[in-house]
């Protein structure tokens, strides 16, 4: 397995000889690094590119900025090791994974074994992440083949099946679909965390996309006799975005709406397109189910990674569907949320400010 070299982001807030020592050690360890001189540039760099580690060299006057800084990089902290160098011996400030005093980092000889150990850890994590990505990718093909073979059996091409056999095949197909969905979700999350996800934008009508998703979900809805109501403010309005990604957003939310709506329920889809005075347009989408609504505590966490409504026995998978939906919407520059309706049911809403190709 050919691995790319590790990448490190270095924040040198104070111009001292410590920076010289660190850069010398990083070169010996063959670790590539970029340097920023303020927290704002670091945030921008972390958003744009994947780094295995962030090294921060600070003094006491910068500690007051750390709390807000760690809030701003909340989404990056899960996959980036944060190593601090500064004052306060024998005390590791919160949110740092490793922290040493500036005295400990004052020469190359002392610093080398510390950084060597740290980058040994990050290399193992990087190896595991890349191996996981390869496995997820390679598992899709045999899974698809198994699915095709089972569909052939279900169609009785090779002979009639009895009622029990048909039921077993049907359940196996359902589980196979769930596995493929989970693999796709895990793959999407890894692409976002590794900064390899890119939007492929095209122009298309929002109603066409909604109809496409509903057609794919009609069997799921028909089992519960759930009807759809679609309202689009401008039938001819075209949006400019990644159709496949937005298809996943609609599919994830509509699947949940069907699952949590009662028998003979209704799912309402509203798309209101508006044009601002600066000639930029946006589309506000609302998807409302007819279920029992969402607990207030759950609503605050429902778009987080691996969150599931645990009180529901029907909860399946890793709980990544709405998290992935949030990532896709935010990648388009939009926002997503949920609220309960007075008349019952929950409304998921997301805004896509991407309605013309010039945006």
Domains of the chain (ranges, CATH numbers): 1-197 (3.40.50.2300), 202-352 (3.30.565.10)
Note the pLDDT of residue 234: 76
pLDDT at position 358 is: 47
pLDDT score of 276: 55
The pTM of this model reads: 0.67
Residue pLDDT tens, the chain, 359 long: 445 678 899 998 776 788 888 888 888 888 889 999 889 999 988 888 888 899 998 887 778 888 889 888 887 777 889 998 888 755 567 788 888 888 888 777 878 898 899 888 888 888 877 777 777 777 777 887 888 888 888 888 888 889 999 888 888 888 887 788 778 888 888 777 777 788 888 888 888 999 999 998 888 899 899 999 999 887 777 788 899 999 999 999 998 899 889 999 999 999 987 765 555 667 899 999 998 888 887 887 888 876 765 444 444 545 688 888 998 998 888 889 999 988 788 999 998 875 554 44
Contacts of 350 (CB under 8 A, 6+ apart): 249, 284, 285, 325, 329, 334, 335, 336, 337
Point out which residues pair with 158 in neighbouring strands: none
pLDDT at 297: 79
What's the pLDDT at 220?
85
d(CA 119, CA 108): 16
- Nearest CA to 180 out of 286, 358, 32, 317 is that of 317
Q: What Rg, from alpha-carbon coordinates, does the chain have?
A: 25
The number of CA neighbours under 13 Å toward the Cβ of 52 is: 23
User: Cβ(34)–Cβ(45) under 8 Å?
Assistant: yes
CA–CA gap between residue 32 and residue 26 (Å, rounded):
7
Characterise 317 by phi-psi region: left (phi > 0), alpha (psi -120 to 50), beta (else).
left
Give SS3 for 81. Answer: strand
């Amino acid at each position: 397995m050919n691995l790319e070299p590790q990448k490190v982001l270095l924040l040198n807030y104070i111009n001292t000889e410590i920076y010289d020592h660190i850069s010398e050690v990083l070169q010996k360890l063959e670790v590539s690094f970029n340097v920023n001189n303020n927290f704002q540039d670091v945030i921008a760099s972390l958003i744009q590119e994947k780094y295995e580690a962030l090294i921060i060299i600070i003094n006491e006057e910068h500690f007051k900025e750390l709390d807000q800084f760690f809030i701003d990089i909340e989404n990056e902290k899960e996959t980036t090791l944060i190593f601090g160098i500064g004052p306060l011996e024998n005390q590791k400030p919160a949110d740092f994974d490793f922290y040493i005093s500036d005295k400990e980092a004052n020469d190359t000889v002392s610093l080398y074994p510390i950084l060597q150990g740290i980058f040994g850890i990050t290399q193992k994590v990087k190896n595991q992440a890349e191996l996981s990505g390869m496995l997820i990718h390679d598992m899709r093909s045999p899974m698809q083949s198994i699915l095709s073979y089972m569909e052939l059996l279900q169609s009785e091409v090779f002979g009639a099946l009895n009622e029990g056999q048909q039921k077993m095949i049907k359940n196996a197909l359902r589980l196979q679909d769930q596995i493929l969905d989970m693999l796709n979700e895990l793959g999407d999350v890894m692409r976002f965390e590794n900064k390899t996800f890119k939007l492929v934008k095209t122009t298309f009508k929002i109603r066409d996309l909604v109809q496409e998703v509903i057609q794919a979900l009609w069997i799921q809805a028909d089992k519960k006799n759930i009807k759809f109501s679609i309202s689009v403010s401008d039938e001819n309005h075209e949006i400019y975005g990644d159709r496949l990604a937005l298809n996943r957003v609609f599919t994830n939310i509509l699947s949940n709406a069907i699952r949590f709506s009662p028998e003979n329920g209704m799912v309402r889809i509203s798309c209101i397109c508006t044009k601002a005075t600066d000639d930029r347009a946006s589309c506000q989408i609302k998807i409302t189910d007819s279920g029992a609504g969402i607990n207030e505590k759950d609503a605050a966490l429902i778009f987080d990674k691996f969150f599931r409504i645990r009180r529901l026995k029907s909860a399946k998978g890793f709980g990544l569907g709405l998290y992935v939906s949030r990532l896709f919407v935010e990648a388009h520059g939009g926002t997503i949320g949920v609220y309960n309706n007075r008349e019952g049911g929950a409304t998921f809403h997301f805004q896509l400010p991407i309605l013309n190709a010039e945006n």
